[in-house]
């Protein structure tokens, strides 16, 4: 009963990823036709399945290349509006910022996960997710190594292309760097990997939903990242000052920026004027307050509807509003899903349907303001802004410093976001796909594994 419940729940449309499901469907055919040949040698069957799976990933790899090519043509001439075959097959597909060596990634993951050797369990959602993750890491590190090997003898456009490499890595907090509701401690395996990334000259950012404004908020983020910041402050830390100060924290999706400061031995709050994107600076405070007030009232309605008055608390901040369980209580998973979907629908209404409002100043034409609603696992939040803006803000802020012209500009193909929430609705990492390459993990353990691959590929 439990197993069936989980399967049916996981197949809810808003929790699917169409690209992964489509690839999984392609792999189902060779599995059904060839994986259960009881009259053949097991090794031969495995090799046959591997060859067929490899061919599928090679074909998908070619479709990705074609999609990138047509996207580039469309950017040069928007009137063309050419649609790739892959987008026809998977309409919800986003934009690829790098090619994906899916076939090679499959071989590596097949060696680890023995996908081709399975006779009764077909290639799964998680198998495909991990293959896509590995392919993205391979693509980014291939660019990195090509850059290092082609410093001389290149000019013009080719030089610009060769100078592209991974420069910025951002992370979600809960479930990505540390377990849900926990924090980084000095013994965390993630800490040494983050320190290694900083030592390689990469910028490391934490883009989290947790929002604590002003310098007083630095203490809250220190509590979350204690193990890492304590290491940076320790006598045995070998990082140079500029490498330490390549650590940034973006709070409340895209609302509060902090940067490690070596003199303060901690995080320094960065004033909005130094990093807000132009479109964000133009957002009307009245519009933001209207959105927050409307969603606050909607959460009160939902809380009353589910009889959660005694077991939950609604919190309203400057740029976010959420509902959290009281100590010793919890909100059922189905209730969390209902609330986040209801909030998303409410947002869609007030962001697009100005005719529903009697007062034109309330209608606001608020479609220029970005807002996201997400399920945090035990709570539901609605934030002004989103992680696409958070990542883009980091890309632009870093390049305000004239001393780092050698790494600027930082493009989307030179940025990587690692997170656990990539469902199309109710997940706040999903929007990061608009501003960076992404890796979809399910636990801090997977984060450690993917960072080990990343570091090995860079140094290998």
Residue-level pLDDT at 125: 95
Task: Provide the edge-to-edge strand list for the sheet that holds 437-440.
Answer: 266-270, 256-261, 247-251, 203-207, 168-171, 415-419, 437-440
Active site residue 110: no
Annotated binding site: 112, 172, 174, 180, 208, 379, 387, 420
Active site residue 429: no
Predicted confidence (pLDDT) at residue 167 exceeds the cutoff of 90: yes
Annotated binding site for IMP: 172, 174, 180, 208, 379, 387
Choice among 104, 110, 174, 383 that is catalytic: 174
The answer to whether 133 and 439 are in contact (CB under 8 A) is yes
Choice among 172, 383, 429, 453 that is catalytic: 172
Hey, how many other C-beta atoms are within 10 angstroms of the C-beta on 265?
A: 12
Residue-level pLDDT at 406: 82
Q: Which two tokens stand for residue 254?
A: 């895209």
Give me the percent of the chain exceeding a pLDDT of 90.
69
Distance CA 356, CA 362 (A): 10
CB-based burial, 302-337: b 16+ in 10 Å, e otherwise: bbeebebeeebebeebebbbbbbeeeeeebeeebbb
Task: Provide the edge-to-edge strand list for the sheet that holds 312-316.
Answer: 312-316, 320-325, 380-384, 371-375
pLDDT tens-digit readout, 338-387: 999 999 999 988 877 644 444 444 444 444 899 999 888 899 999 999 99
Residue-level pLDDT at 4: 42
Predicted confidence (pLDDT) at residue 409 exceeds the cutoff of 60: yes
Q: Which residue has the tokens 């960076």?
A: 436
pLDDT tens-digit readout, 32-76: 887 676 667 888 889 999 999 999 999 999 999 999 999 999 988
Task: List the domains of the chain with CATH numbers.
Answer: 2-140 (no CATH), 166-460 (3.40.50.1000)
Residue-level pLDDT at 428: 64
The DSSP call for residue 174 is B
pLDDT tens-digit readout, 303-337: 999 999 999 999 999 899 999 999 999 999 999 99
């Amino acid at each position: 009963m439990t197993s069936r419940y989980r399967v049916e729940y996981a197949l809810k449309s808003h929790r699917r990823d169409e690209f992964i499901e489509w690839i999984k469907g392609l792999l189902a055919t060779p599995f059904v036709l060839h994986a259960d040949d009881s009259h053949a040698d097991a090794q031969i069957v495995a090799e046959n399945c591997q060859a067929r799976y490899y061919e599928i990933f090679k074909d998908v790899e070619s479709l990705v290349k074609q999609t990138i090519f047509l996207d580039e043509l469309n950017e040069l001439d928007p009137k063309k509006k050419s649609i790739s075959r892959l987008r026809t097959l998977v309409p919800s597909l986003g934009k690829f910022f790098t090619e994906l060596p899916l076939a090679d990634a499959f071989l590596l993951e097949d060696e680890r996960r023995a996908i081709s050797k399975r006779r009764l369990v077909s290639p799964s959602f998680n198998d495909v997710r991990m293959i896509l993750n590995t392919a993205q890491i391979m693509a980014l590190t291939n660019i990195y190594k090509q850059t290092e090997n082609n410093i001389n003898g290149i000019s013009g456009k080719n030089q610009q292309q060769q100078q592209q490499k991974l420069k910025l890595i951002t992370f979600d907090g809960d479930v990505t760097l540390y377990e849900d509701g926990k924090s980084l401690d000095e013994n965390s395996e993630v800490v040494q990997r983050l320190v290694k990334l900083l030592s390689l000259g990469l910028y490391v950012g934490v883009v989290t939903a947790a929002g604590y404004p002003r310098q007083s908020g630095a203490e809250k983020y220190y509590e979350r990242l204690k193990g890492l910041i304590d290491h940076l402050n320790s006598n045995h830390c070998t990082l140079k000052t500029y490498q330490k100060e390549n650590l940034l924290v973006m709070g409340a999706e895209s609302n509060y920026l902090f940067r490690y400061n070596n003199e303060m031995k901690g995080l320094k709050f960065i004033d909005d004027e130094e990093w807000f994107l132009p479109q964000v600076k133009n957002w009307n405070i009245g519009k933001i307050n209207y959105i927050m007030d409307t969603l606050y009232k909607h959460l009160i309605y939902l809380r009353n509807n589910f009889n959660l008055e005694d077991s939950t608390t609604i919190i309203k901040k400057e740029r976010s509003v959420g509902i959290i369980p009281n100590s010793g209580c919890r909100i059922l998973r189905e209730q969390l899903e209902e609330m986040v979907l209801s909030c998303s629908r409410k947002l869609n209404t007030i962001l697009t349907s100005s005719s529903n409002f009697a007062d034109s100043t309330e209608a606001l034409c608020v479609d220029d303001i970005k807002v996201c609603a997400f399920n945090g696992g035990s709570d539901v939040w609605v934030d002004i802004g989103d992680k696409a803006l958070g990542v883009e803000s980091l890309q632009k802020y870093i390049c305000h410093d004239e001393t780092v012209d050698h790494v600027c500009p930082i493009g989307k193909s030179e940025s990587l976001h690692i997170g656990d929430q990539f469902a199309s609705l109710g997940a706040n990492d999903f929007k990061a796909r608009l501003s960076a390459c992404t890796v979809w993990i399910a636990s801090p353990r997977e984060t450690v594994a993917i960072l080990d691959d990343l570091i090995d590929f860079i140094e290998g």
